[in-house]
């Protein structure tokens, strides 16, 4: 009887102590997790999922650097971020680095299908929770070969920022820092950029394929609204195509579907950049062209001869023809 009583007492004691212990653990674990975000130097939690394009399972593993971008819905800005990462992925795919996009809600399937690195869907927000995100939040992470976080950011950042962080950590230097002179690209060969012909779906090197043209450039600062605004003017140029070669180039930030939506009947050649177009992008930040959303580059024998704003080009056409 004594033994039973003692046993009963000690069992009660053990159970109550265990409950208190578990409560304490839960309190501290839950407490620290719910208030803190992931930070530099911490371990990245294990995450896995299936790539929506290949169906293959993706796991972040040791021995490789990883760049992870989380977004709730791939609306225009976030989508352009995912597309920019694809450009980086194409450049760095032989450099021992994983790229991963995680999306809470699957939309814009066509655009996502064009992305070459794994994209996984986090329908029940379980990965988001592990990464300490709030619903609707955007986050970027760079993880080293030991799964330690080298960069964690819970607000939208510029694509350029992520590239610089990545290059600095991987190579110890940054490929592009300086702001080029706005006139430095005049009389120089048109840059070797990869572009996709939206109608034929062929990807070409622009400088090899097209040597003479008036190139209408919708740069990274333009938006879908600009496209709508300019689409009528673009169609006006079509009747001069036999005498003057006019082609249109869109920054990778544009959605292919948006372009086709506004210009589906256009006879003009429409190219979407699948590359960074630094030299052209920087024109938008330089003094002369900053105020102009769309610019026209005159390319002759593969050399950049002149750059003018779209409005002047349009006026010139109206007066001359």
Partner 1 sequence: MVEFKKNFAFFLFVIIYSSLIYGESQIDIFKVQKVFEFPEIIEPRCVAEYDGKYYITDHSTHRIIIVNKERNKVVGYIGKPGQGAGELFRPTYIFIKNRKIYVFDYAHEKGRVQIFSTDGKFLGQIPLSFEPWMGFSVNSKGEILLNQPQKKSIMSVYDENGKFIKSIGKLKQVSEIYGNNFSSLNNTYRFAVNRVYLDVDREDNIYSVFIFAPIIQKYDSNGNLIKEVRIRGKEMEEIVGYFPKTHKPTGLVKTGIDGVLVYYFIKFAIIEPKSNTLWVLTGKDDYFYIYNLNTLEKIDELYLDYSLYKGGIFYLSRGDGELFFSTVLKPGLYKLEMAKNK
* Size of residue set near partner 1 by CB under 8 A: 25
Rounded CA separation 86/91 (Å):
9
- Of the candidate residues 52, 60, 121, 164, the single one contacting partner 1 (CB under 8 A): 164
Q: How many CA atoms lie within 13 A of 163 on its CB side?
A: 20
Tokens, residue 178: 């300086």
Per-residue binding string, partner 1, 115-154, x by CB under 8 A, is -----------------------------------xxxxx
Q: Which is nearer to partner 1, 184 or 203 (CB)?
A: 184
Angle at 170 between CA 168 and CA 134, to 5 degrees: 80
Write down how long the chain is. Answer: 321
CA angle at residue 27 from 21 to 32, to 5 degrees?
A: 130
User: Where does this chain touch partner 1 (CB under 8 A) — which range of 45-53, 169-177, 202-210, 297-305?
Assistant: 169-177
Using CB under 8 A, which of 79, 82, 165, 249 touches partner 1? 165
Q: Which of residues 289-318 bind partner 1 (CB under 8 A)?
A: 290
Residue closer to partner 1 by CB (options 42, 106) is: 42
Choose which of 2, 5, 56, 178 interacts with partner 1 (CB under 8 A): 178
Give the residue with the Cβ less far from partner 1, 39 or 205: 39
Enclosing H/E stretch for 50: strand 48-50
Name the residue nearer to partner 1 (CB basis): 39 or 305: 39
Smallest separation, CB 222 to partner 1 (Å): 16
Q: Give the CA radius of gyration of the chain.
A: 26
Token pair belonging to 248? 């249109």
Residue showing tokens 């996709």: 196
Distances (CA, A) of 104 to 70, 125, 128, 304: 8, 7, 8, 43
Q: Which is nearer to partner 1, 161 or 238 (CB)?
A: 161
Q: Does 234 bind partner 1 (CB under 8 A)?
A: no
Of positions 156, 180, 191, 245, contacts partner 1 by CB under 8 A: 180
* Residue pair 76/44 in contact by the 8 Å Cβ criterion: no
C-alpha span between 310 and 216 (Å, rounded):
7
Q: Rule CB under 8 A: is residue 218 a binding residue for partner 1?
A: no
Determine, following the binding rule CB under 8 A, whether residue 286 of this chain makes contact with partner 1.
no
List contacts with partner 1 (CB under 8 A).
37, 39-41, 150-155, 158, 160-161, 164-165, 168-169, 174, 177-181, 285, 290
């Amino acid at each position: 009887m004594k033994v039973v009583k003692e046993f009963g007492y000690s069992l009660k004691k053990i159970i109550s102590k265990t409950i208190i212990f578990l409560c304490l653990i839960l309190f501290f674990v839950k407490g620290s997790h719910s208030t803190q975000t992931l930070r530099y130097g911490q371990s990245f939690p294990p995450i896995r999922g299936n790539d929506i394009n290949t169906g293959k399972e993706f796991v972040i593993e040791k021995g490789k650097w990883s760049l992870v971008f989380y977004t709730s819905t791939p609306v225009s800005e976030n989508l352009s971020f995912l597309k920019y990462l694809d450009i980086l992925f194409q450049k760095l795919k032989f450099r021992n680095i994983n790229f991963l996009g995680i999306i809470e809600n699957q939309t814009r399937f066509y655009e996502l299908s064009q992305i070459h690195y794994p994209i996984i869907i986090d329908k029940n927000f379980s990965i988001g929770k592990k990464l300490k995100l709030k619903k609707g939040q955007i986050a970027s992470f760079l993880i080293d070969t030991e799964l330690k976080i080298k960069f964690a950011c819970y607000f939208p950042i510029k694509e350029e920022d992520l590239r610089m962080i990545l290059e600095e950590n991987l190579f110890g230097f940054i490929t592009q820092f300086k702001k080029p002179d706005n006139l430095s690209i005049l009389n120089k060969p048109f840059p070797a950029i990869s572009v996709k012909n939206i109608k034929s779906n062929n990807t070409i090197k622009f400088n090899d394929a097209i040597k003479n043209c008036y190139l209408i450039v919708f740069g990274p600062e333009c938006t879908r609204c600009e496209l709508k605004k300019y689409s009528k003017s673009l169609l006006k140029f079509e009747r001069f195509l036999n005498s003057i070669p006019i082609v249109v180039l869109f920054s990778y930030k544009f959605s292919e579907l948006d372009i086709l939506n506004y210009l589906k009947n256009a006879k003009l050649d429409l190219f979407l950049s699948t590359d960074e177009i630094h030299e052209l992008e920087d024109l938008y930040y330089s003094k002369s062209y900053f105020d102009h959303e769309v610019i026209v580059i005159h390319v002759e024998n593969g050399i950049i001869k002149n750059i003018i704003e779209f409005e002047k080009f349009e006026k010139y056409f109206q007066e001359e023809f």
